[in-house]
Copies of this chain bind each other. A is one copy, B any other.
Amino acid sequence: MTTSALTKVSEQLCFGGKQIRFTHQSAVTNCEMQFSVFLPPQAQTGKVPALYWLSGLTCTDENFSGKAGAQRVAAELGIALIIPDTSPRGDGVPDDPDGAYDFGLGAGFYVNATREPFVKHYQMYDYIVSELPALVEAELPVSAVRAISGHSMGGHGALVIGLRNPERYRSISAFSPIGNPAKSPWGIKAFSGYLGDDQSQWVHYDASVLLAKTEKELPILVDQGLADNFYPQQLRTEALIAAAEQSGAKAQIRLQDGYDHSYYFIASFIEQHLRFHAKYLAN
């Protein structure tokens, strides 16, 4: 892999580190992908561990970069932030037939689609698990010591990807995750569209199902606001809590009074999530 695999779109100094936006041609999603990276000052002198952040419906890599205020603590702790887009994009990439916000562009749900016409491009699970880390670790001063987090649809993605690949991540966290998508309106629409009606295929992408049977002691931190418009119907946090109790997983799931689904909630608690991950990334 040569350095030409990544095209730098922009680079901006932030808290003494570098906030960079890249594009690259993906062999997995068969289109050009964009992502953002924050490299802390410590990356100037050696490889640093990374937190992968998966964003929610309608987002790109720019929402977390611009709104979460994560760079301050990441710069202090020496953690890179890797912030992918939420779907494949481009003229050849099929969208929701009605242009809805919760399927298609901006709504890849971090699955490998098996249905036409989505199968060609919507391979976000493999992209996040394999292709993007390989690219980042080959091209940037970022080590293979990883944690994963995300918000809403991205919280679902972080939990599913972390739980299915415990050897690849040190810790998992999530804000307002879609915790049991096989039984929520958003998840049912997405899984039907990308995976088809065979619900035996859906369980591989349902955090509550995976958490209920996990045998690994991967540390998990989840924050859910109680003034969130999508709680409980879409997010089904209680299913996630029940699943953690069933398996005895090392999951701390916190209900935060008064907070909503927005980045004001994420900004308020991202420092705690970063310090949580830093404990495991440092070892």
- A225: chain B residues within 8 A (beta carbon): 13
B14 & A268 in contact (Cβ 8 Å cutoff): yes
Given the known interface contacts A13-B259, A66-B66, A67-B66, the answer about A19 and B72 at a Cβ–Cβ threshold of 8 Å is: no
Interface presence of A265 (CB below 8 A): yes
Integer count of this chain's copies in the complex: 2
For chain A, the count of residues having a C-beta within 8 Å of the partner chain is 23
| A224 touches B (CB below 8 Å) | no
Docked complex Cα distance between A69 and B263 (Å) = 11
Let me know if A126 is at the binding interface, CB within 8 A: no
With an 8 A cutoff between CB atoms, is A134 at the interface?
Answer: no
CA distance A12 to B268 in the complex (A): 11
Partner of A14 from the list B16, B267, B271 (CB cut-off 8 Å) is: B267
For A260, the chain B residues whose CB sits under 8 A away are: 12-13
Closest 4 CB pairs of A and B: A69-B69, A14-B264, A13-B258, A12-B264
CB within 8 Å of B: which A238-283 residues: 258-260, 262-265, 267-268, 271
Query: B13 to A267, Cβ gap below 8 A?
Result: no
Query: Does A55 touch B at the CB level, under 8 Å?
Result: no
A225 to B14 alpha-carbon distance, docked (Å) = 11
Q: Give Cα A72 to B13, complex, Å.
A: 21
Check: A101 CB closer than 8 A to any chain B CB. Answer: no
> A19-32 vs B: 1/0 string, CB under 8 Å?
10000000000000
Cβ-neighbour of A71 out of B13, B227, B259, B267 (below 8 A): B267
- Chain B: minimal CB distance from A181 (Å): 25
Judge whether B15 and A267 touch: CB under 8 Å. yes
Given contacts A13-B268, A67-B67, A72-B268, 12 further A-B contacts (CB under 8 A): A12-B260, A12-B262, A12-B265, A13-B227, A13-B259, A13-B264, A13-B265, A16-B268, A66-B67, A69-B267, A71-B264, A72-B267
Shortest Cβ distance from residue A62 to the other chain B in the assembled complex, whole angstroms:
11
Which residues of B are found within 8 Å of A19, using beta-carbon distances?
A: 264
Q: Which residues of B contact A262 (CB under 8 A)?
A: 12
Q: Tell me, in angstroms, the Cα distance from A181 to B177 when the chains sit together.
A: 48
User: Which one, B66, B267, B268, contacts A263 given CB within 8 A?
Assistant: B66
Q: Which residue of B lies closest to A18 (CB)?
A: B258
